[in-house]
Amino acid sequence: MYEGSDVSLVIKFERGILFLPCFTADDYTERVMRNLMALEQCHYPLTAYVCNYIAFLDFLIDSEQDVDLLVKKGIVKNSFGHKESVAEMVNKLCLGIVDFGSHYYFLAEALNKHYDNRFIRSIVATSVATLRRNYFSDFWTGTATVASVVIVVLTLIGTVASVLQVTQNDNKSLPSPAPPRGL
Protein backbone atom coordinates (compact mmCIF):
# COMPACT_ATOMS: atom_id res chain seq x y z
CA MET A 1 0.00 0.00 0.00
CA TYR A 2 2.84 2.37 0.74
CA GLU A 3 5.65 1.65 -1.71
CA GLY A 4 4.72 1.76 -5.37
CA SER A 5 1.39 0.02 -4.97
CA ASP A 6 -1.95 1.26 -6.20
CA VAL A 7 -4.09 3.01 -3.64
CA SER A 8 -7.71 3.06 -4.69
CA LEU A 9 -10.90 3.89 -2.87
CA VAL A 10 -13.19 2.90 -5.74
CA ILE A 11 -15.87 0.43 -4.70
CA LYS A 12 -18.21 -1.05 -7.30
CA PHE A 13 -21.31 -3.22 -7.09
CA GLU A 14 -22.16 -4.88 -10.39
CA ARG A 15 -24.48 -7.83 -11.09
CA GLY A 16 -24.63 -8.82 -7.44
CA ILE A 17 -20.85 -8.74 -6.92
CA LEU A 18 -19.13 -6.20 -4.68
CA PHE A 19 -15.67 -5.13 -5.87
CA LEU A 20 -13.44 -3.63 -3.17
CA PRO A 21 -9.84 -2.48 -3.33
CA CYS A 22 -7.33 -4.37 -1.22
CA PHE A 23 -6.91 -3.09 2.33
CA THR A 24 -3.56 -3.89 3.95
CA ALA A 25 -3.61 -4.20 7.73
CA ASP A 26 -0.13 -3.96 9.21
CA ASP A 27 1.76 -2.13 11.95
CA TYR A 28 1.59 1.23 10.13
CA THR A 29 -1.99 1.11 8.83
CA GLU A 30 -3.73 2.55 11.87
CA ARG A 31 -1.30 5.46 12.21
CA VAL A 32 -1.44 6.34 8.49
CA MET A 33 -5.23 6.06 8.34
CA ARG A 34 -5.72 8.16 11.47
CA ASN A 35 -3.47 10.89 10.06
CA LEU A 36 -5.27 10.87 6.70
CA MET A 37 -8.65 10.90 8.41
CA ALA A 38 -7.59 13.80 10.68
CA LEU A 39 -6.39 15.75 7.65
CA GLU A 40 -9.70 15.17 5.87
CA GLN A 41 -11.77 16.03 8.93
CA CYS A 42 -9.89 19.32 9.45
CA HIS A 43 -9.32 20.57 5.90
CA TYR A 44 -11.60 18.59 3.55
CA PRO A 45 -14.70 17.61 5.52
CA LEU A 46 -16.98 17.56 2.45
CA THR A 47 -14.63 15.34 0.44
CA ALA A 48 -13.57 12.88 3.12
CA TYR A 49 -12.97 9.89 0.87
CA VAL A 50 -10.69 8.01 3.28
CA CYS A 51 -13.11 8.51 6.18
CA ASN A 52 -15.98 7.25 4.03
CA TYR A 53 -13.95 4.23 2.88
CA ILE A 54 -13.01 3.30 6.46
CA ALA A 55 -16.65 3.78 7.55
CA PHE A 56 -17.73 1.46 4.72
CA LEU A 57 -15.17 -1.12 5.88
CA ASP A 58 -16.46 -0.69 9.43
CA PHE A 59 -19.95 -1.65 8.25
CA LEU A 60 -18.52 -4.79 6.63
CA ILE A 61 -16.22 -5.84 9.48
CA ASP A 62 -17.66 -6.58 12.89
CA SER A 63 -15.97 -9.82 13.90
CA GLU A 64 -12.99 -11.99 13.13
CA GLN A 65 -15.22 -14.16 10.88
CA ASP A 66 -15.81 -11.10 8.69
CA VAL A 67 -12.06 -10.49 8.50
CA ASP A 68 -11.47 -14.16 7.67
CA LEU A 69 -13.94 -13.99 4.78
CA LEU A 70 -12.39 -10.78 3.42
CA VAL A 71 -8.89 -12.27 3.70
CA LYS A 72 -10.01 -15.37 1.79
CA LYS A 73 -11.50 -13.17 -0.94
CA GLY A 74 -8.27 -11.14 -1.20
CA ILE A 75 -9.85 -7.89 -0.02
CA VAL A 76 -7.88 -7.65 3.23
CA LYS A 77 -4.21 -8.47 3.61
CA ASN A 78 -3.66 -9.29 7.26
CA SER A 79 -0.05 -8.75 8.34
CA PHE A 80 -1.01 -8.85 12.03
CA GLY A 81 -1.65 -12.58 12.06
CA HIS A 82 -4.63 -12.20 14.39
CA LYS A 83 -8.00 -11.66 12.75
CA GLU A 84 -9.45 -10.04 15.85
CA SER A 85 -6.72 -7.35 15.72
CA VAL A 86 -7.85 -6.27 12.26
CA ALA A 87 -11.52 -6.19 13.29
CA GLU A 88 -10.69 -4.18 16.40
CA MET A 89 -8.52 -1.71 14.46
CA VAL A 90 -11.15 -1.06 11.77
CA ASN A 91 -13.92 -0.69 14.33
CA LYS A 92 -11.86 1.77 16.41
CA LEU A 93 -10.83 3.88 13.41
CA CYS A 94 -14.35 5.24 12.94
CA LEU A 95 -14.75 6.51 16.49
CA GLY A 96 -15.01 10.28 16.60
CA ILE A 97 -15.52 10.84 12.87
CA VAL A 98 -17.88 13.67 11.98
CA ASP A 99 -20.11 12.48 9.14
CA PHE A 100 -21.08 14.94 6.41
CA GLY A 101 -22.62 12.27 4.20
CA SER A 102 -21.00 9.37 2.44
CA HIS A 103 -19.67 9.11 -1.08
CA TYR A 104 -20.80 5.48 -0.94
CA TYR A 105 -24.44 6.29 -0.12
CA PHE A 106 -25.83 5.11 -3.47
CA LEU A 107 -23.66 2.01 -3.32
CA ALA A 108 -25.01 1.20 0.15
CA GLU A 109 -28.56 1.71 -1.14
CA ALA A 110 -27.88 -0.69 -4.04
CA LEU A 111 -26.46 -3.26 -1.61
CA ASN A 112 -29.49 -2.96 0.67
CA LYS A 113 -31.86 -3.25 -2.30
CA HIS A 114 -30.00 -6.36 -3.47
CA TYR A 115 -30.13 -7.84 0.02
CA ASP A 116 -33.86 -7.14 0.34
CA ASN A 117 -34.59 -8.94 -2.95
CA ARG A 118 -36.93 -11.82 -2.14
CA PHE A 119 -35.22 -14.27 -4.47
CA ILE A 120 -31.80 -13.58 -2.98
CA ARG A 121 -33.13 -14.18 0.51
CA SER A 122 -35.33 -17.14 -0.46
CA ILE A 123 -35.12 -20.43 1.36
CA VAL A 124 -33.20 -22.07 -1.48
CA ALA A 125 -30.58 -19.33 -1.70
CA THR A 126 -30.19 -19.27 2.07
CA SER A 127 -29.90 -23.05 2.21
CA VAL A 128 -27.25 -23.15 -0.50
CA ALA A 129 -25.25 -20.43 1.24
CA THR A 130 -25.50 -22.30 4.54
CA LEU A 131 -24.40 -25.55 2.91
CA ARG A 132 -21.44 -23.82 1.30
CA ARG A 133 -20.39 -22.09 4.51
CA ASN A 134 -20.82 -25.07 6.85
CA TYR A 135 -20.22 -28.19 4.76
CA PHE A 136 -18.11 -27.09 1.80
CA SER A 137 -15.95 -24.33 3.29
CA ASP A 138 -12.72 -26.02 2.17
CA PHE A 139 -11.61 -29.09 0.23
CA TRP A 140 -11.38 -31.49 3.16
CA THR A 141 -14.68 -30.49 4.72
CA GLY A 142 -16.40 -30.86 1.34
CA THR A 143 -14.79 -34.26 0.74
CA ALA A 144 -15.86 -35.50 4.18
CA THR A 145 -19.41 -34.26 3.55
CA VAL A 146 -19.65 -36.03 0.18
CA ALA A 147 -18.18 -39.24 1.67
CA SER A 148 -20.70 -39.12 4.53
CA VAL A 149 -23.62 -38.69 2.15
CA VAL A 150 -22.40 -41.58 -0.02
CA ILE A 151 -22.08 -43.85 3.04
CA VAL A 152 -25.58 -42.94 4.24
CA VAL A 153 -27.07 -43.57 0.78
CA LEU A 154 -25.27 -46.93 0.42
CA THR A 155 -26.41 -47.94 3.92
CA LEU A 156 -29.99 -47.01 3.04
CA ILE A 157 -29.82 -49.02 -0.21
CA GLY A 158 -28.40 -52.02 1.67
CA THR A 159 -31.17 -51.80 4.27
CA VAL A 160 -33.91 -51.62 1.64
CA ALA A 161 -32.37 -54.54 -0.27
CA SER A 162 -32.22 -56.65 2.92
CA VAL A 163 -35.84 -55.89 3.78
CA LEU A 164 -36.95 -56.78 0.24
CA GLN A 165 -34.98 -60.03 0.34
CA VAL A 166 -36.49 -61.04 3.69
CA THR A 167 -40.04 -60.28 2.53
CA GLN A 168 -39.53 -62.26 -0.69
CA ASN A 169 -38.11 -65.24 1.25
CA ASP A 170 -41.05 -65.11 3.65
CA ASN A 171 -43.49 -65.22 0.72
CA LYS A 172 -41.74 -68.29 -0.74
CA SER A 173 -41.63 -70.15 2.56
CA LEU A 174 -45.37 -69.83 3.20
CA PRO A 175 -47.26 -73.04 2.36
CA SER A 176 -49.29 -72.74 -0.78
CA PRO A 177 -53.00 -73.00 -0.29
CA ALA A 178 -54.50 -76.44 -0.87
CA PRO A 179 -56.57 -76.91 -3.98
CA PRO A 180 -60.32 -76.98 -3.40
CA ARG A 181 -61.73 -80.43 -2.85
CA GLY A 182 -64.51 -81.59 -4.96
CA LEU A 183 -67.69 -83.11 -3.65
Predicted structure pTM score:
0.59
Domain borders along the chain are 12-116
Q: For residue range 89-131, what is the model confidence (pLDDT) as tens digits? A: 888 888 877 777 777 788 888 888 877 776 666 666 777 778 8
β-strands 17-19, 12-14 pairing? antiparallel
Residue 76, Cβ density class (10 Å: 0-12 exposed, 13-18 middle, ≥19 buried):
buried
Q: For residue range 122-177, what is the model confidence (pLDDT) as tens digits? A: 666 777 778 888 888 888 988 999 999 999 999 999 999 999 998 887 766 656 66
